Amino acid sequence: MADTITVLLVDEDTEVLELTQTFLEREDDALDVETVTSAPAALEELEAASFDCVVSDYSMPEMTGVEFLEAVRERSPGLPFFFFTGKDSTEIEAVAESADITGYVQKGTGTERYGDLAREIRAAVEG
């Protein structure tokens, strides 16, 4: 079991970033979450530091989640990559079948979503 699991969290909404970071780190104290507000900034972080997992919004202004995923896969083919999104699950499931994502969790009300995401991250990193 990893002592610390480093997660790069990408979302253009700073409030979502702060809330997600807080809840993920509460759900699993091994998670160390770094946040960035754009896919291009996330790509720079991936070049500068090592991460165990990437969690990204699906709809972002500068790059789509799929474009970001493709860029991550070029650099780190085996890095676990999750979408944490408010998009309809049928749209994400279609993307999941054609793209190489590890999984996705839908944003929503209630804190159980963060627990689900934390468990998915741990399982992907340890598995």
Q: What is the CATH number of the domain that holds 49?
A: 3.40.50.2300
Is 1 inside any structural domain?
A: no
Model pTM score: 0.91
**Containing structural domain, residue 115:** 6-126
- For the cut 60, the answer to whether the pLDDT of residue 1 exceeds it is no
Q: What is the 3-state secondary structure (H, E, C) of 67-86?
A: HHHHHHHHHCCCCCEEEEEC
Is 101 inside any structural domain?
A: yes
pLDDT tens by residue, 71-112:
999 999 899 999 998 777 676 777 766 678 898 888 877 888
